[in-house]
C-alpha cells in the first residue's frame, strides 16, 4: 500500500522510471488475480456445501408423465423419483423442502390431468406397498403403505376373508390417492374403512396420526385434499370377517355394473366432475345438454357415460380442457349449476 502511495506521489512530480512502472503494473495484476481466486474459492465452498436433487437415489430427469396416468396425457417431469418405502418418501419430501423445489405426489395416476408442458419440479411416485394384517375377533385390520394399489388391496382382502372393500374393485389408483379424494362407489367410500392415517406434516417435517374423525371426510373430499402440507404415508383399514364366496360374488356384480355403465375401452381419468348434492347426477345433465359423443381434437365425451372424457389416441390436455369448459358452460346455462371438477390438473 505504501509502495503505491509513493508511486503516485513520484508520478505527480514526474519522477517515475520504467522499473517502477513495471512493479506497479505487476502488483495491480497480482492483486486482481488474488481477488478472483478468493471469489472462486468462496463460490466453490458454497457449491460443496450445497445439496442437490441428485442426492436422491435413482432420480430420473425429463420423464414422460403420460405413461404414469390413466388418461395417457401429459408432458414431462423435470425430476422423477419412485419412493419404494416410507423412508424414501420422507427423504424425498425433506430434500424438496430444503431445496425449495416444487413437488407433486403421484399415486396410481387416476383422476389426474397433466399439462402438455409437463411439470417443472419433482414428481414423487409412491410405491411403498408394505402390508401388515392384524386380527381380533371378527375384525381384520390391514395396515398398508400409501402406494399400495387398490386392486392389490382388494385381492389381499379376498385372501384374508375380509369384507368391506368390495366397492373398490376395479377402481384404479392407490390407497393414498383414495384417501386423499375419499374415493367411493356403490354408496360406499374410503371413509367407511379408514381407522387411522399416518401423514407427514411438511411444515414441521413431523409424522402425525389422524383418526377417522380427524380426516374430515366428505363426498370426494378430505382434510388432506384441503391441506396440501399433509402427505399421506400409510393407513390402517378396519374390515370385518366375511365369507370368501360372498365377497367374490359382490365383486363380480360390481365389475359387471362397471362394464355396463362405464367406458373402459379407452384411456380416461374416471369421472370428470363430482355429482351435485341434490337433483340429477352430472352425467345425466351433460347428456341432456346433448353433449354425448362431442369431440375436441382427439378427446371425446363418452357416449356410454357422459361424465367421462376419453382419450381416443394422442389427445392433448388442451383438448380435454376445451371439453371441460364447454360442459360447464352448457350445464350452467341449462340448469343454473356450476359443476366442480373431480379430476386434478397439474
Quote helix, strand, coil % in the chain, to nearest 5.
40, 25, 35
Asked whether 198 and 235 are in contact (CB, 8 A), the reply is: yes
Question: What Cα–Cα distance (Å) separates residue 242 from each residue in 134, 139, 160, 276?
Answer: 15, 10, 9, 34
The set of cell numbers assigned to 51 is: 445439496
Instruction: Quote the distance between the C-alpha of residue 31 and its chain's center.
Output: 53
Distance CA 333, CA 3 (A): 87
Active-site annotation holds for 220: yes
Active-site annotation holds for 342: yes
Nearest 5°: phi and psi at 183? -60, 150
**Axis-axis angle for helices 2-13, 18-49 (nearest 10):** 140
Residue 327 burial (C-beta neighbours within 10 Å; 0-12, 13-18, 19+): buried
Choosing from 166, 198, 317, 342, the catalytic residue is 342
Distance CA 260, CA 128 (A): 33
Q: Residues 6 or more apart from 31 whose CB is under 8 A from it?
A: none
Strand partners, 142: 133, 237
Distance CA 82, CA 77 (A): 13
The set of cell numbers assigned to 204 is: 414441521
Active-site annotation holds for 98: no
Question: What Cα–Cα distance (Å) separates residue 95 from each residue in 52, 81, 272?
Answer: 8, 12, 33
Choosing from 222, 268, 271, 302, the catalytic residue is 271
Choosing from 191, 198, 220, 317, the catalytic residue is 220
Q: Which residue has the cell 389408483?
A: 173
DSSP 337: -
List the catalytic residues.
Answer: 220, 271, 342
Amino acid at each position: 500500500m505504501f509502495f503505491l502511495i509513493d508511486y503516485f506521489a513520484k508520478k505527480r512530480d514526474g519522477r517515475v522510471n520504467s522499473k517502477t512502472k513495471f512493479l506497479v503494473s505487476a502488483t495491480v495484476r497480482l492483486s486482481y488475480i488474488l481477488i478472483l481466486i478468493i471469489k472462486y474459492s468462496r463460490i466453490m465452498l458454497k457449491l460443496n456445501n450445497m445439496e442437490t436433487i441428485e442426492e436422491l437415489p435413482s432420480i430420473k430427469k425429463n420423464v414422460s408423465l403420460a405413461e404414469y396416468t390413466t388418461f395417457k396425457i401429459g408432458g414431462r417431469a423435470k425430476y422423477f423419483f419412485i419412493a419404494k418405502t416410507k423412508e424414501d418418501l420422507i427423504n424425498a419430501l425433506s430434500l424438496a423442502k430444503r431445496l425449495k423445489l416444487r413437488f407433486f405426489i403421484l399415486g396410481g395416476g387416476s383422476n389426474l390431468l397433466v399439462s402438455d408442458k409437463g411439470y417443472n419440479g419433482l414428481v414423487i411416485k409412491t410405491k411403498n406397498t408394505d402390508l401388515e394384517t392384524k386380527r381380533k375377533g371378527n375384525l381384520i385390520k390391514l395396515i398398508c403403505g400409501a402406494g399400495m394399489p387398490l386392486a392389490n388391496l382388494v385381492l389381499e382382502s379376498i385372501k384374508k376373508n375380509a369384507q368391506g372393500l368390495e366397492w373398490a374393485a376395479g377402481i384404479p389408483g392407490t390407497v393414498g390417492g383414495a384417501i386423499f379424494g375419499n374415493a367411493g362407489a356403490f354408496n360406499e367410500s374410503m371413509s367407511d374403512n379408514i381407522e387411522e392415517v399416518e401423514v407427514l406434516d411438511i411444515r414441521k417435517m413431523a409424522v402425525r396420526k389422524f383418526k377417522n374423525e380427524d380426516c374430515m371426510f366428505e363426498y370426494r373430499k378430505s382434510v388432506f385434499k384441503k391441506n396440501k402440507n399433509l402427505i399421506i404415508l400409510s393407513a390402517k383399514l378396519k374390515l370385518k370377517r366375511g365369507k370368501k364366496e360372498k365377497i367374490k360374488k359382490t365383486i363380480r356384480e360390481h365389475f359387471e355394473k362397471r362394464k355396463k355403465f362405464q367406458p373402459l375401452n379407452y384411456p380416461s381419468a374416471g369421472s370428470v366432475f363430482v355429482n351435485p348434492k341434490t337433483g340429477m347426477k352430472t352425467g345425466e345433465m351433460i347428456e341432456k345438454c346433448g353433449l354425448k359423443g362431442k369431440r375436441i381434437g382427439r378427446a371425446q365425451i363418452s357416449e356410454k357415460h357422459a361424465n367421462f372424457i376419453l382419450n381416443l389416441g394422442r389427445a392433448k390436455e388442451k383438448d380435454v380442457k376445451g371439453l371441460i369448459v364447454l360442459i360447464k358452460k352448457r350445464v350452467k346455462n341449462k340448469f343454473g349449476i356450476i359443476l366442480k371438477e373431480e379430476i386434478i390438473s397439474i
